Amino acid sequence: MSRYDPECIFCKIAAGHIPAKLVYKNEHVVAFHDLNPVAPTHVLIIPQEHIPSLSQLSEADTVIAGQILLAARVVAEKTGVLDSGYRVVFNNGPDSLQSVGHIHAHVIGGKSMGWPPFPGREILHGQD
């Protein structure tokens, strides 16, 4: 079954209808550079099919879920952060500041990070 939301920007990227700087692609997932990177490596991994968020993954999506995680390792290798380290983040819902309703993993690396990721600066993407 194929799920495509014509209103969804990430569905359009997956379908090649709007451009993105691809890092990796297979039959299940597409990985591309984030438009507003927060680190030297900032790549998004999305399933080809429209799934709104982590909360809406189902048993039927087990292969897709695994493929996203496997793609994270491939992206880390391709962007040169496999050994230096990287973070894989799924923002999910309002408190996390998820802004695009098509599930995506952020692969972030290439600089030293802090932990925990709060107290948060409640910023909107693209603003400082």
Tell me the one-letter amino acid at 99: S
Residue 32 as a binder of ligand 5GP (CB under 6 A): the answer is: yes
Residue 11 as a binder of Zn ion (CB under 5 A): the answer is: yes
Residues 67-126 that bind Zn ion (CB under 5 A): 102
Q: Is 106 a catalytic residue?
A: no
Range in contact with ligand 5GP (rule: CB under 6 A) among 54-62, 68-76, 90-98, 115-123: 90-98
Residues that bind ligand 5GP (CB under 6 A): 9, 20, 32-36, 44, 91, 97-100, 125
